[in-house]
Amino acid sequence: MAAPRILVVGSVNMDLVTQVHHVPAAAENVRGDDIRSIPGGKGANQAAACARLGALTSFLGRVGDDAFGERLRRNLADCGVDTESLATVPGAASGVALILVDAAGQNTIVVTPGANARLSPADVDAERRLVAEADAVLLQLEIPPETVARTLQLARHAGTLAVVDAGPPRGTPEEALFACDVLSPNQAEAATLLGLNPAHADPETMAAELLDRGPRAVVLKAAQRGAVVADHNGVRWAPPFRIDPVDTTAAGDAFTAALTVEIVKGATLDDAARVANAAGAFACTRLGAQPSMPTADDVAAILRSEV
Crossing angle of helices 251-264/269-283, nearest 10°?
Answer: 150
Dump pLDDT digits (tens) for 24-40.
787 778 887 878 898 99
Dump pLDDT digits (tens) for 254-278.
999 999 999 999 999 999 999 999 9
The contacts of residue 165 (CB under 8 Å, 6+ apart) are 42, 46, 138, 139, 140, 141, 184, 185, 252, 253, 256
**DSSP conformational letter for 296:** H
Helices (H) and strands (E) counted in the chain, each on its own, are 10, 13
Dump pLDDT digits (tens) for 174-217.
888 999 999 999 999 999 999 998 888 899 999 999 999 999 99
Per-residue CA distances from 265 to 2, 32, 258 (Å): 9, 42, 10
229 compared with 15, residue with greater pLDDT: 229
> Given CA atoms 100, 106, 110, 111 in this order, what sign does their dihedral have?
positive
The pLDDT, as a whole number, for residue 222 is 94
Dump pLDDT digits (tens) for 77-121.
999 999 999 999 999 999 998 888 888 878 788 889 999 999 999
The pLDDT, as a whole number, for residue 173 is 74
The pLDDT, as a whole number, for residue 24 is 79
The pLDDT, as a whole number, for residue 79 is 95
Would residue 105 be called left, alpha or beta, if left means φ above 0 and alpha means ψ between -120 and 50 degrees?
left
Can 181 be counted among the known catalytic residues? Answer: no
CB 137 within 8 A of CB 131: yes
Mean pLDDT for 1-8 is: 93
Q: Rounded distance, CA 110 to CA 15, Å?
A: 10
Q: Rounded distance, CA 111 to CA 80, Å?
A: 25
pTM of the model: 0.92
The pLDDT, as a whole number, for residue 28 is 79
Which of 17-21, 178-182, 230-234, 293-297 bottoms out in mean pLDDT, i.e. has the lowest?
A: 17-21
Asked if the model's pLDDT at residue 307 lies above 70, the reply is no
Would residue 85 be called left, alpha or beta, if left means φ above 0 and alpha means ψ between -120 and 50 degrees?
alpha
The architecture CATH gives domain 5-11+42-91+116-305: 3-Layer(aba) Sandwich (3.40)
**Residue 77 burial by Cβ neighbours in a 10 Å radius (0-12, 13-18, 19+):** middle
Q: Annotated catalytic residue: which of 253, 271, 297, 298?
A: 253
What are the backbone dihedrals phi and psi of residue 72, each rounded to the nearest 5 degrees, phi first? -65, -40
Ranges of beta strands (E only) in the chain are: 5-9, 13-19, 36-40, 56-64, 86-89, 95-101, 107-112, 136-139, 161-165, 182-184, 217-221, 227-231, 234-238
Q: Rounded distance, CA 142 to CA 43, Å?
A: 8
The pLDDT, as a whole number, for residue 25 is 80
Q: Rounded distance, CA 66 to CA 83, Å?
A: 17
Dump pLDDT digits (tens) for 129-175.
999 999 999 999 999 999 999 999 999 999 999 999 998 887 767 88
The end-to-end CA distance of the chain, in Å, is: 27
The pLDDT, as a whole number, for residue 106 is 80
